[in-house]
């Protein structure tokens, strides 16, 4: 499992040859399996594609609702994701948390979906 929190708000996942992406890859699925957010701060996630030797490409964003509700989310690739490079997921809080608060999100490996 991969984790995001207030100190580590983004993660990068390399696209491996074993992922076998093809032109049918229309969506990236992000599975949020656990959210520790007792005060239910509004959370926004942004997904980027990082092609080799180029600038990152914004693919889209999503939010959990309610703010502590895990689930599966899909983001359209817009035909911009290929077999090389990485995916980067970034978490930001819409609300300003108190300094002593912590928000932690657990997710599974991001996968490509044809539908």
Domain holding 13: CATH number?
A: 2.60.120
Please state the separation of Cα 99 from the chain's center in Å: 24
pLDDT-derived band at 36, boundaries 50, 70, 90: very high
Average pLDDT over all residues of the chain: 89
pLDDT-wise least confident of 50-54, 72-76, 80-84, 106-110:
80-84
Relative to beta strand 57-63, strand 43-50 is antiparallel
Number of domains in the chain: 1
* Predicted local confidence at residue 97, as pLDDT: 84
What is the mean predicted confidence (pLDDT) over 2-27? 81
Query: What domain range includes position 60?
Result: 2-113
Residue 23 confidence (pLDDT) = 61
Indicate the length of the chain as a whole number.
115
């Amino acid at each position: 499992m991969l984790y995001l929190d207030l100190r580590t708000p983004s993660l990068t996942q390399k696209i491996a040859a074993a992922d076998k992406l093809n032109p049918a890859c229309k969506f990236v699925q992000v599975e949020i399996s656990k959210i520790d957010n007792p005060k239910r701060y509004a959370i926004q996630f942004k997904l980027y594609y990082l092609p080799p030797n180029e600038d990152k490409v914004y693919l889209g964003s999503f939010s959990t609702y309610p703010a502590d509700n895990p689930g599966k989310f899909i983001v359209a690739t817009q035909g911009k994701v290929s077999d090389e490079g990485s995916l980067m997921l970034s978490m930001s809080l819409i609300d300003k948390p108190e300094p002593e608060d912590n928000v932690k999100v657990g997710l599974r490996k991001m996968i490509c979906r044809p539908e």
